[in-house]
Structure 1
């Protein structure tokens, strides 16, 4: 088991809130990776508002296909007129990614945007997978299309050259016996 820990402190240009983000990557064997992201947001202006966002990404690799199970839990604690209000939001998303680069981008984007709202993160998962599918299709289809265009152009050039050569060749005289 290999454990990597990254700590990110996010302070916007206009200091309204401070976000401390801890990313823990646990590699359990060659096929299973667990990425845990814990983000704590504290409003600087209104100190009585604290948000804790926990994202757990479980990546299971089978051959070239990676299945990503994302569980997002957001807990918001707000003090309203001496009353503590706790709001808990849970979101679950299951995605399939077919490319190592796409998987890396997928995880990095989720980690970077984990300081945003849960709904944004879940929508992001869907959009990222759609973009990844389009990219994979483009990577596969573009070379095939280029090859087809090249073949058509070469055939057209050959036909054109032959037609020009045949057109310029002098007519043969008929032999009269």
Structure 2
């Protein structure tokens, strides 16, 4: 993923795209690129360094000059290959998300009781999902049964019950509640 970010940053500059277009015709050295693109040699060198770091161009020393050419291996990379997460990255991301989830539950629950309903939507959603585990998925509950189960976690069962509906964790039909998530 780090390489993808470097490539996208390198391509996100008009001057660098102009350099790449010029190099499509034939390999060139800094002074020739400078002349053709009407940019100073130091500006061309700066941009070439970024393109080289991204693996988009490569430089070969020929006598006194470094001649730059396109790195076709990198340029022929499929865009999907650059944006799709690899399994290791995805696993690390899921691990961070689970650690965050555990921390939120740890901070808002003491001895199985909800201390307070989080204000932040993401944390509130985690808390609601945790309470929803006390209900079986697909089973129909009367409002009174829902209130009793929620009351085991927090006395404000009305707010939590409403949040279940608004967050689409439960659906309500004629006073009957059913966990859908």
TM class, shorter-length:
under 0.3
Q: Which has the higher strand share?
A: 1
TM-score by length of 1: 0.22
TM-score by length of 2: 0.22
